[in-house]
Amino acid sequence: MSEQQALTSAPATPEPAGSAKSRLRLEIERSHAGQGSPWWITIVSVLLALVFCGIFIAANGMNPVTVYAKMISGAFGSSFGITETLVKAIPLLLCGLGVAIAYRISVWNIGAEGQFVIGAMAATAVTVYWPNLPVYAAIPLMIAFSMAAGGVWGLLTAIPRTHFQVNELITSLMLNYVALLALDYVVFGPWKDPKGFNFPGTPMFTEAQSLPLIGDSRLHLGLAFAILAVILYAVVVKYTKWGYELRLIGANSEAARNAGIGIKKHIWIVMLISGGLAGLAGMSEVSGVTHRLMYGISPGYGYTAIIVAWLARLNPIGLTVSSVLFAGLIVGGYSVQTIGLPSSISEMIQGAILFFLIAGATISRIRIRRRG
């Protein structure tokens, strides 16, 4: 039995599987982020989600196989599609890493969307208040501001959790709306471009405020940020003492507390890092893709990152693969508009995948045992 299984297989309170005299009982083994389920459960869950969505596609008079083939072709069938998929994968991977490191200690950060937006706003603040900085000063300052702002936004979830026992699901979700409203205020108000024909957005960034592009595509230096972040995540979690403490807290917080590990301190640190990574994703998006802060800067990267982390089971390689696949799903959603389907089909598939992943992970942990 592995270390993870030994620490997480404490059974829940048994429930009788029949009458009071029944000699069988149901047990649900404890786990988090789908780590306790077999790998094939993930594959089956994704396939079931595609079948489920295919039924709705067929009900609208379309061939599901044709639709899925069009999505794959649009995302991976050309050099343009591949580079666009990688562009979408950058914020998904950074936000997914942030969500994953919080999940490591069973802190459910669903506020990556707000942290992404706040990071984008902080990076834009550099361009608004210091517009004439050279590139060697502007880009590092935008990175620092975005990560600091996202990290502070993450702490606004961690502090109520550790000091007042407020559920982080509530605070992180509410802070998403606060961040989005703050975005609306600045792009419709003080930061609005006076030459933008009433468009809700800031002035365009200068070349010194924009991340360098890779080749002739829209792929930018943010890809290096994401690759470096996933390597650091893999090394820290697996090979450092702090990474071991994270794994122990996530597996059995009571054992970690008895071993003298400070749970509150670790919650603050992981939420600071989690928010910082999402904030960096926001900076990469405004500086590398849109080159301005505008209304609707995120199509839901922070929320999709939750599914990315769950699908990857917090594994660094899995996070990389799942972020690329979900980025392809977004790009493929744009492609199916040419055959008469809305791009929101990709959002329906994302939701179905999450539903079946949770259901599959739950079912896989049910055990029927004989009493005594």
In the predicted model, is pLDDT for residue 8 greater than 60? no
Each residue of 248-286: pLDDT tens digit? 998 888 999 998 999 999 999 999 999 999 999 999 999
In which element (H, E) is residue 26 found?
strand 24-28
Cross-strand partners of 220: 213
How far the first Cα of the chain sits from its last, in Å, is 22
DSSP 83-148: HHHHHHHHHHHHHHHHHHHHHTTT-----HHHHHHHHHHHHHHHHHHSTT--HHHHHHHHHHHHHH
Task: Using alpha carbons, select from 293, 284, 272 the residue that is nearest to residue 142.
Answer: 284
C-beta of residue 307 within 8 angstroms of C-beta of residue 326: yes
Six-digit token string for 301? 């990267």
C-beta of residue 346 within 8 angstroms of C-beta of residue 67: no
User: Looking at per-residue confidence, does 230 or 9 come out higher?
Assistant: 230
DSSP 291-313: SS-BTT--SSHHHHHHHHHHHHT
Cross-strand partners of 366: 28
| Domain regions of the chain by residue span | 86-340
Each residue of 78-137: pLDDT tens digit? 999 999 999 999 999 999 999 999 999 989 999 999 999 999 999 999 999 999 999 999
User: Looking at per-residue confidence, does 351 or 36 come out higher?
Assistant: 351
What percentage of the chain carries pLDDT values higher than 90? 76
Rounded to an integer, what distance in angstroms lies between the CA atom of residue 192 and that of residue 204? 11
At 365 the pLDDT is 72
User: Looking at per-residue confidence, does 209 or 106 come out higher?
Assistant: 209
Each residue of 134-182: pLDDT tens digit? 999 999 999 999 999 999 999 999 999 999 999 999 999 999 999 999 9
Length of the chain in residues, anyone?
Answer: 372
In the predicted model, is pLDDT for residue 2 greater than 50? no
CATH, range 86-340: 1.10.3470
At 370 the pLDDT is 72
Task: Using alpha carbons, select from 119, 105, 153 the residue that is nearest to residue 270.
Answer: 105
In the predicted model, is pLDDT for residue 231 greater than 60? yes
C-beta of residue 86 within 8 angstroms of C-beta of residue 327: yes
Task: Using alpha carbons, select from 284, 306, 304, 290 the residue that is nearest to residue 211.
Answer: 284
Six-digit token string for 189? 């108000």
Residue 9 buriedness (CB in 10 A; 0-12 / 13-18 / 19+): middle
